[in-house]
Amino acid sequence: MSLTSADISRIANLARLELQPEESSRMLTQINGFFDIVEQMRAVDTSGIEPLAHPLATVAEVALRLRDDVVSEPNNREANQKSAPAVERGLFLVPKVIE
């Protein structure tokens, strides 16, 4: 299996990455090189095997923990917005999205 440059631009769009033409062609070569080593994986018979998401599920029941839905944090807006690129009156600024 080999990716094409059309695949690369489709994936880049999904990933929200703007790639320059020379970057795209380098990416194509490198990703295809990578998928050469992935091929061996596709041949493995995994019928009846459950996918493993949490490694400790190998030996124990693992349930994703939920915490009580209660307020635990103090208001820390100013500190949390200190590293934001654009803020006004406590709001994050983005380019216009609704006309």
| Separation between Cα atoms, residue 34 and residue 29, nearest integer Å | 9
Q: How far is CA 33 from CA 24, 27, 59, in A?
A: 14, 10, 35
> Least distance in Å: CB of 32 to another protein?
10
> Least distance in Å: CB of 59 to another protein?
6
| Separation between Cα atoms, residue 50 and residue 57, nearest integer Å | 10
Residues 52-81: x where in contact with another protein by CB under 8 A, - otherwise, as a string = xxxxx-xx----xxxx----x---x--xxx
Of 25 and 80, nearer to another protein (C-beta) is 80
